[in-house]
Amino acid sequence: MPNRLSITNKLFEKKLLTEEQRQQVELEYANQGKSEEEILLSLKLVSEEDLAKAKGEIFNVPYVKLAEVGFAPEVLTLLPRSVAERYTLIPFSQNSDGKEISVALADPLNLEAIEFVEARTE
């Protein structure tokens, strides 16, 4: 079993890749210098959704499929459209006491976006 933390190993652990496919990606990664994600997608070994879910698990960031989540219209007013466009994010819900909002980000690891939204909504 591989011991290096990587998206390929996470997908293998989740049984979304075979050992042969995992080794193929590792070899391509070593030879081409492309990211594992680029290789996985170019070889069509997993879907973008499976890749995003696995990545979320690695970084402990929940995966949200916006098509399946209801939007609270009042939350959309908490952040200006320019902010949403700049950071590619969408606020979609607010907790019952109104002190926390949930925001979907195209890049959930974008610390600048997270810090800006936190400061803006305090």
| Residues in a beta bridge with 101 | 94
Do 69 and 92 touch, CB atoms closer than 8 A?
yes
Strands 89-94, 101-105: pairing kind: antiparallel
pTM for the structure as a whole: 0.70
**What residues in the chain have per-residue pLDDT under 70?**
1-5
Do 93 and 102 touch, CB atoms closer than 8 A?
yes
pLDDT at 63: 86
- The residue ranges of every structural domain in the chain are 7-59, 66-120
pLDDT at 3: 45
